[in-house]
A and B are shown apart, each in its own frame.
Chain A
């Protein structure tokens, strides 16, 4: 017992002070991309050609990047001769609509909005989530799991992962939804009592990620269930996931 107390004293209180203070992210962290269309040479499509998941499109305003498809590899950044695309350190990537994930960089990125008044009344102070991995590589899964450790202490926000869908207010889904998991995912969703929400975490869960071309998967959760929150990344940083969850519950009161 004395040893335990001594270790506790040595290691100290280590729960992050987030959201009062932002934890420091590594310098090479890849967050929200910045796109400077003005730098694009005429008719240049090198970034789009380099992208392995066809996440880059071109409109009248220049290139757009679909964060729902993006696997955060450096191909577009390296392909661009003018440095028009760069990933910034901004971790706030979650959105409430699929369309909002397509960013042109010029517009303000439409971050996730809070649930409607009625859902927020029911779920806002206590959100229980059942996590389902539907073909995930255990990358998103471990970074979802880590929010439960004492460093992040998800419980202090009233959010908890639960063992049974019957106890849950919604599903948090990772993976592209393999054909072999489709039925299990549908059944788990059906077992959650309403009103309920669905959260798609990671590039796979949004659009199939690195497996988007494979017929063994269905191209993300949206092909099977209605999605209320999209959290992009491969995998998303725990801070990005937490930011999304807190935005959905209207617990981050910042102007942007």
Chain B
């Protein structure tokens, strides 16, 4: 078995299920393991209600996506995780959702603490955070438990540190507190609320999620999106990226006590968000995109208003961040904390900023280009050290790329006429599969839609980049001091609700 046995697809291109012949379970496993061995990344592994397993493998260097499917005849199969660690959370998830047992999984714990979707109303509700935590034994070893309610305006999660003195041996992260049933809510859809639910799957990544959702609908309905609409969507995505990167760099400065940049960036983040609000009325880009195109276009007058504000925000952002890079006391703290190696990053399937900070070239805009990025080349921004400094540096360089896109797109959009809002989409292709990837500000946002015979969603799978990356934070903390947790955590700045769905 090699990865050639898998079906190659393009980002956002629908595939009739009839063309995706199910492999035997053994071939399915072998093909995935062979592909991962050849350098592919397991972008998604999920089940549906009919004991089918679907896998999406991303060959980022080869710019190819491949999908595979198998039909189980009983709710168990030999786990992939022992040979392929990046499958570990996916397999825990499908065990929790569908009661499918990946046999031999070394770490089969709950992910989101809910009853199985396949029934089980008689079972008691699982209690969040109650599980068999990994523990280190020894006279001087102690355990620190934090959360779900944290000391700050952040989302809930439970963190268990195994410590020896100040040194953290291991961190285990238990999430699921934000679980509100997004994937199941989308089943049977698209419903009138589906767009809003896609927008709020991770509410600070609204544009990336809603774009991935729209592209699935557009792919399955066979509706092309105009170049102009794609351009504007790119503006929305890059503004979202810029605002969040600025906020993160400010928060990182705050976590090492470097207040000038922290204060400036706290305000500047708002200036970037307000650019989005100028277009769609919402600072977080809500109600901007809609299936088939846009809810709000950017006309000449608006582009002319936005451009000087963009340049001012960018100039002030550079000013604020140059202070940070020039502060040796801040740099030394960034350089010694939260180290990950490229080998670790590959093994656990890290994506987005933390992966690029380890020197791994991976960016959906470059590897599996969609929308405007088919014409506007984006070069993945890489750093080498895999520490907090590298993750901050990647964000900084990406800001410059985002600004470049925004300045050119806004200038260009202003010169051409707006388009009318798209009407409702026709029905979706029946019995089909569509995988859509978007590079959000944290990393790869993946939406997988599976339709039934009526063209409704039989299964809708969302993979937020945080789903891949939370384990990276746990690894980055090994051997660190517990006092550096806030700094390491912020350098990843992962989503709780995007993971919990």
Report which A residues bind B (CB closer than 8 A).
Answer: 3-4, 7-8, 10-11, 14, 26-30, 50, 52-53, 71-75, 131-146, 148-151, 161, 163-165, 175-176, 178-181, 183-184, 188, 209-211, 213-217, 234-235, 237
User: Taking chain B's interface residues, is the majority helix, strand, or loop, or is none over half, making it mixed?
Assistant: loop
The 25 listed contacts between A and B (C-beta, < 8 Å) are: A7-B260, A7-B319, A8-B260, A10-B319, A11-B319, A11-B320, A27-B278, A72-B286, A72-B287, A135-B180, A137-B200, A138-B203, A139-B286, A141-B154, A142-B247, A149-B263, A163-B151, A178-B177, A180-B114, A181-B156, A210-B199, A211-B180, A211-B197, A214-B181, A216-B180
Is B22 part of the contact surface with A, judged by Cβ < 8 Å?
Answer: no
Question: Is the pair B178, A29 in contact by a Cβ cutoff of 8 Å?
Answer: no
Task: Encode contact with A along B297-326: 1 for CB under 8 Å, 0 otherwise.
Answer: 000000000000000000010011011001
Residues of B within 8 A of A136 (CB): 155, 178, 203, 497
Question: Is the pair A139, B260 in contact by a Cβ cutoff of 8 Å?
Answer: no
Number of interface residues of B (CB under 8 A): 65
Question: Is the pair B267, A184 in contact by a Cβ cutoff of 8 Å?
Answer: no
CB interface residues, B 239-294, toward A, < 8 Å: 247, 260, 263-264, 266-267, 269-270, 274, 277-284, 286-287
A137 CA / B210 CA spacing, docked (Å): 14
A11, A178, A210: the one contacting B196 at CB < 8 Å is: A210
CB interface residues, B 377-428, toward A, < 8 Å: none
CB interface residues, B 130-150, toward A, < 8 Å: 148-149
Question: Is the pair A132, B149 in contact by a Cβ cutoff of 8 Å?
Answer: yes
Residues of A within 8 A of B284 (CB): 139, 142-143, 235
CB interface residues, B 329-383, toward A, < 8 Å: none
CB interface residues, B 103-153, toward A, < 8 Å: 112-114, 125, 128, 148-149, 151-153
Question: Is the pair B200, A7 in contact by a Cβ cutoff of 8 Å?
Answer: no
Residues of B within 8 A of A217 (CB): 180-181
Question: Is the pair A139, B270 in contact by a Cβ cutoff of 8 Å?
Answer: no
Residues of A within 8 A of B270 (CB): 146, 149, 151
Of A14, A216, A234, most buried by chain B (CB within 10 Å of CB) is A216
In the complex, residue of chain B having the shortest beta-carbon distance to the beta carbon of A212: B193
CB interface residues, B 151-189, toward A, < 8 Å: 151-156, 176-182, 184-185
Is B482 part of the contact surface with A, judged by Cβ < 8 Å?
Answer: no
Q: How many A-B contacts at CB < 8 Å in the complex?
A: 183
Q: 5 more A-B contacts (CB under 8 A) besides A139-B286, A148-B153?
A: A133-B178, A176-B180, A183-B128, A210-B193, A211-B185
CB interface residues, B 210-247, toward A, < 8 Å: 247
B295 CB to nearest A CB, Å = 7
Residues of A within 8 A of B203 (CB): 136-142, 235
In the complex, residue of chain B having the shortest beta-carbon distance to the beta carbon of A29: B281
A234 CA / B295 CA spacing, docked (Å): 17
A233 CA / B154 CA spacing, docked (Å): 19
A8 CA / B3 CA spacing, docked (Å): 56
A128 CB to nearest B CB, Å = 13
A29 CB to nearest B CB, Å = 5
B180, B199, B279: the one contacting A214 at CB < 8 Å is: B180
Residues of B within 8 A of A132 (CB): 149, 156
A47 CB to nearest B CB, Å = 13
Task: Encode contact with A along B3-36: 1 for CB under 8 Å, 0 otherwise.
Answer: 0000000000000000000000000000000000
Residues of B within 8 A of A215 (CB): 181
Question: Is the pair A180, B113 in contact by a Cβ cutoff of 8 Å?
Answer: yes
Residues of A within 8 A of B287 (CB): 30, 72-74
Question: Is the pair A133, B155 in contact by a Cβ cutoff of 8 Å?
Answer: yes
In the complex, residue of chain B having the shortest beta-carbon distance to the beta carbon of A146: B270
